[in-house]
Chains A and B, each alone.
Chain A
Amino acid sequence: DSGVTQTPKHLITATGQRVTLRCSPRSGDLSVYWYQQSLDQGLQFLIQYYNGEERAKGNILERFSAQQFPDLHSELNLSSLELGDSALYFCASSPRTGQSGEQYFGPGTRLTVT
């Protein structure tokens, strides 16, 4: 158990819909990272937040957005969903400031868009 929690575990929704994925980092970790993993793309970095502020952006679509709240939990919002958005979405946390260093991953949310 990494100490990172993610909900829900599974999500099935239709094209065009909007969903919110939730992540709680390990106690004391200030950085939260979001990744997308699909079969043909590997683990793709989406976005990082540090202590409530966006720190780095990766291959995140404009239809996707995220935020980190004062209690340090984070939410990833996916809108206008397409079939190609079906993937595993992972959240990771790290105690490091400004550098990614070691990251601890949650169990993931499996999103299926039908």
Chain B
Amino acid sequence: KQEVTQIPAALSVPEGENLVLNCSFTDSAIYNLQWFRQDPGKGLTSLLLIQSSQREQTSGRLNASLDKSSGRSTLYIAASQPGDSATYLCAVDGSGNTGKLIFGQGTTLQVKP
């Protein structure tokens, strides 16, 4: 059974720092991996989608990488800002590209001014 783990559970950094969030999954047979952002009490906002054939995706200050063979993904945030404070979730689709996602528990990021 696929399991997704995100470490650390919480992270606090000063503004301007570059940071990396980690996501690992137990079954490398995935079709894609998606990173989301969730603000307190709100829904999920899609940040990046990486297909299984891709190694990385970039959007602005965000860069996500995928290493299927080792079961790992990282989300790199450059020049962090207080507005980046949120919970970041990774999710994998391992069920034939159906959109059914298995989520990690998330990393709660606080960026201090």
A-B interaction? no
Mark A residues whose CB is within 8 Å of B: none
